[in-house]
Amino acid sequence: MSERKHMFAELKRINYRQEVLHKQKSRVKWLEAGDLNTKFFHRMIKWRRMKNMIKGVKIKNQWCEEPRKVKENIKNFFEKRFTEKSDIKVRLDNVQFTSINREDNVSLTSRFSENEIKEAIWDCDSSKSPGPDGFNFNFIKQFWDTIKLDIIRAVNSFHSCGKLAKGSNASFITLIPKTEDPQGLEEYRPISLVGSVYKIISKII
């Protein structure tokens, strides 16, 4: 296992050196020939996918690469980690909360303005990976004048009924390696890629 880790680290170092070299060359090609360096970027995407792909995991100290067993083990591991324990309950009986004044209450519960929505969108990173809806914030910013009415309607619909539109809270869960050559599932960090409308509403609130 230690030799495998060392070899992966060496492979990453070599790939990084090639990446830097190709990146330098691609700039020259782009200046000379416009968009002809797209092959390089496709290769880099392919290499990144291969690097992040889970080829196998350690199950009971045994390395396993059988897809069915790997998937089953991943599901069981994170299902157990994120399942709520029924014996843990938070109670707020007899807790006295500080109240806000009427003016602040009206301000907090009033309809979302276009400026509020736009500010929330422009405050988000444009290049973040998109969720199931397939749109990142760069797309929304570029075509704001065209799609802003649809987004405002979606946000105001949530404000009126307090419910998210069907599918807008769907997410992709992806595992990010914490180490160079992860062996067990504890060496991965799960993140959720959620849709743009969900992110906008969360940010406004």
Is residue 102 located within the same domain as residue 154?
yes
Please tell me whether residue 127 adopts helix, strand or coil conformation: coil
The pLDDT value given to residue 121: 93
Is residue 47 located within the same domain as residue 98?
no
> Residue 123 belongs to what domain range?
54-204
Closest CA to 112 of 150, 165, 157: 157
Is residue 37 located within the same domain as residue 72?
no
Is residue 113 located within the same domain as residue 28?
no
Is residue 13 located within the same domain as residue 68?
no
Q: How many domains does the chain have?
A: 2
% of the chain exceeding 90 in pLDDT: 15
The answer to whether 79 touches 113, Cβ cutoff 8 Å, is: no
143 pLDDT above the threshold of 50: yes
- List, for residues 99-129, the tens digit of each pLDDT value: 889 999 888 888 899 999 999 999 988 877 7
Is residue 199 located within the same domain as residue 102?
yes
- List, for residues 24-53, the tens digit of each pLDDT value: 555 545 444 555 556 666 776 677 777 777
Per DSSP (E only), the strands in the chain are 57-59, 62-64, 171-177, 188-194
Is residue 103 located within the same domain as residue 20?
no
Last residue of a domain, one of 53, 77, 93: 53
Question: DSSP label at 104?
Answer: H
Is residue 72 located within the same domain as residue 139?
yes
The pLDDT value given to residue 31: 47
Is residue 119 located within the same domain as residue 129?
yes
**Mean pLDDT score, 67-95:** 82
Is residue 25 located within the same domain as residue 63?
no
- When pLDDT is cut at 50, 70 and 90, the band that residue 93 belongs to is confident
**Mean pLDDT taken over the chain:** 81
